Amino acid sequence: MTAVEVNAGGAVVKLRRPWVVGALSLIPFYWVFWYYAVNREMRDFGRARGDAALGESRPGLSVVAVTAGSLVVIPWIVSVWHAVRRIEACERLAGSRPESSALVLCLLVGASLIGWVGVFLGHGAVALILTYSGIPLGIAATVLMQQRLTRLWAAG
């Protein structure tokens, strides 16, 4: 089943299956397209609800931060931090109590830092294992983010 477009509070958003998003994140560049799409949806939701901070977010800049900015690590971390905070803001705007974002942020930051540790270790099996061990953490965080958004969009 493909994602279904719905109107959530005046914004056109997609209901995506979180586990499908997680599985598709293994395909190169899918995660980047997903990240842009959900940031755009949150921006549109904020505009429709009259939230200036959400409405002024820039999904394209978020993508630059997680792609080119990932070489420096800090822009990537700041971008995902803001994305998780946007999810919380959308939850507040919809009238629901925002969930804790601690687990998602720990998974995302951990995924990034573990990968970099592996890169700096150089060659060998341990370095390779560390480099790729961040992938499941990133996928888990992506699934959790999409679960929250799907629940939010489904509620209308």
How many domains, the chain? 1
- What tens digit of pLDDT does each residue of 33-64 get? 999 999 999 999 999 999 999 999 999 999 99
Domain-embedded: residue 123: no
Closest by Cα among 33, 34, 53, 55 to 43: 55
- What tens digit of pLDDT does each residue of 83-134 get? 999 999 999 999 988 889 999 999 988 888 887 777 777 777 877 787 788 8
pTM (two decimals): 0.90
The whole-number pLDDT of residue 2 equals 67
Domain-embedded: residue 48: yes
Full residue range of the structural domain in which residue 68 is found? 4-100+145-155
Domain-embedded: residue 53: yes
- What tens digit of pLDDT does each residue of 1-26 get? 568 899 988 899 999 999 999 999 99
CA end-to-end distance (rounded Å), the chain = 20
Domain-embedded: residue 9: yes
Domain-embedded: residue 137: no
